[in-house]
Amino acid sequence: MKTKLLLTGFVSATLLLGACGNDDTKNKEESKKEQALKLSDEDQEKKYKKETKKLGEILAEAGKGVNEGLSDDSDDSDTDIASDKEDIKKVQKELKKYHDNTKYLDKANTEVGDYAYKTADSMVVYVERSLDLEQFKKDNPELEDSYDIASIDATYTLFTVLESIQMDYEDLDVEYKKEYLGAKGNEGVTDILALQQESNTTDLAEGMGVYVAEFKDNLNSKQTKELSNKTYRNKINKNLIHEEPDMSKRDYNSIVQDFNEIAPEFLQYEKVNEMISTTEYNYMMDLRNGVVDADTDSEIDDFDSSDDSSSEEPVTRENVIDKVEEYEGEPLDTETYTYKEPEKTDDGNWGFSFTDENGDLAGSYIVDKDGIVTKYNEDGEEE
């Protein structure tokens, strides 16, 4: 299963950013903090809304790109990837400008803007990661499974963050959100957050488990480092909405250990040294269950396939009686009957007869080349 978000609209939003991202500070010699302190509560709120409206315009444009859903393929050339990375830098610069312009407005109501900023930043971090993975795929076309697993993992992490933001954002009054972001800005945030509903996180975890169970790529240290998702996770998980830590670090680290014992090195999670939230615990448990269940199923499949191969082994003098006993479901009754030595027939099958205690013919067996057993009675009629 491949999951790569189609984010053309988000990258193209950089064209809009250049037009609306100018800092209109009158006195550039004063620090932003000093300027904020001089503003009244009302003026701080007014300035904050002005900045969030700009952010809303960016998110309105970004929302258009994600409405197209999910795409499995990417045909970007190396030049396209480099160009997209430059665009991402522009977006990051504009988001930083928004953050710097609002971080000292401590008397303003920042609730809506915070959710919008976390949404935009999460998407930028994800696109940046996706471009890195696209480059890895082009440089290592033989490691397609590694690319697929890393892509699923990146999408899973993004979706967990968007889901946590959406749970709070959708509870806010619509008019209240429009007041800060504008109607189109609110629509853009809503569309981006709804993206995680395209694929259930549990399904993604199970899909990753299937890939992990069948994973056979041999990676060198450089490739492992390039695919490592720890830096990406650390960046994007800053936007995860946390409730109060209420889960034991011991319990969490136990499921991390279960996951790490099966997952490739580049997918492995770090253990924690403090309590974590139920949200984090549940997401990690889904991942753990996905890989452990798939790995268990794989072991069962391997066992079954080995049984199949043994049943297809050539029929010989040494195993013909074993196949008859398997057919009967019990050992041959050597106390009641006397069994003749198996012999090979002219057509390549194996067979043997058996007599009763009086020495009279009681029946016989024929085992063909495929191991199929046919039993005959004393009159030579098939039973």
**Residue 179 to residue 252: CA distance in whole angstroms:** 40
Q: What's the confidence (pLDDT) of residue 87? A: 78
Q: What's the confidence (pLDDT) of residue 23? A: 52
The distance from CA 383 to its chain's CA centroid, rounded to whole angstroms, is 55
AA letter at 112? V
pLDDT band at 63 (very low <50, low <70, confident <90, very high): low
Q: Is the pLDDT of residue 374 over 70?
A: yes
**Pairing label, strands 70-71, 338-339:** unpaired
Least confident of 256-260, 324-328, 354-358: 324-328
- CA dihedral sign of residues 324, 325, 328, 329: negative
Q: What's the confidence (pLDDT) of residue 322? A: 87
What does each C-alpha distance from 357 to 33, 298, 325, 339, 375 come to in angstroms? 107, 50, 20, 11, 19
Q: What's the confidence (pLDDT) of residue 348? A: 85
Q: Is the pLDDT of residue 183 over 50?
A: yes
For 214-338, where are the alpha helices, taking DSSP H only? 221-227, 230-236, 249-262, 278-311, 320-328
Q: Mean pLDDT, to the nearest integer, of 370-377? A: 90
pLDDT band at 9 (very low <50, low <70, confident <90, very high): low
Q: What's the confidence (pLDDT) of residue 38? A: 87
Element (H, E) at 362: strand 361-367
User: What token pair was written down for 215?
Assistant: 């994973």
**Residue 76 to residue 86: CA distance in whole angstroms:** 14
- Determine if residue 182 is left, alpha or beta; phi over 0 gives left, psi from -120 to 50 gives alpha, anything else beta: left
pLDDT band at 16 (very low <50, low <70, confident <90, very high): low
AA letter at 338? T
| C-alpha closest to that of 66 among 150, 162, 149, 144 | 162
- Determine if residue 216 is left, alpha or beta; phi over 0 gives left, psi from -120 to 50 gives alpha, anything else beta: alpha
Share of the chain above pLDDT 90, in %: 52
| C-alpha closest to that of 333 among 357, 350, 317, 366 | 357
Q: What's the confidence (pLDDT) of residue 12? A: 55
The string of pLDDT tens digits covering residues 200-238 is 888 899 989 999 988 999 999 999 999 998 999 999 999
- Determine if residue 275 is left, alpha or beta; phi over 0 gives left, psi from -120 to 50 gives alpha, anything else beta: beta
**Residue 48 to residue 338: CA distance in whole angstroms:** 98
Residues recorded for the chain: 383
**Residue 94 to residue 89: CA distance in whole angstroms:** 9
Q: Is the pLDDT of residue 356 over 80?
A: yes
What does each C-alpha distance from 4 to 74, 122, 163 come to in angstroms? 8, 15, 17
| C-alpha closest to that of 191 among 203, 180, 183, 202 | 183
Q: Is the pLDDT of residue 18 over 80?
A: no
**Residue 374 to residue 367: CA distance in whole angstroms:** 6
Element (H, E) at 60: helix 41-66
**Residue 31 to residue 139: CA distance in whole angstroms:** 45
DSSP-derived secondary structure for 88-129: HHHHHHHHHHHHHHHTT-TTS--HHHHHHHHHHHHHHHHHHH
Lookup result for tokens 């027939």: 345
Q: Which residues contact 308 (CB under 8 A, 6 or more apart)?
A: none
Q: What's the confidence (pLDDT) of residue 287? A: 92
Q: Is 121 exposed, middle or buried (0-12, 13-18, 19+ CB in 10 A)?
A: buried
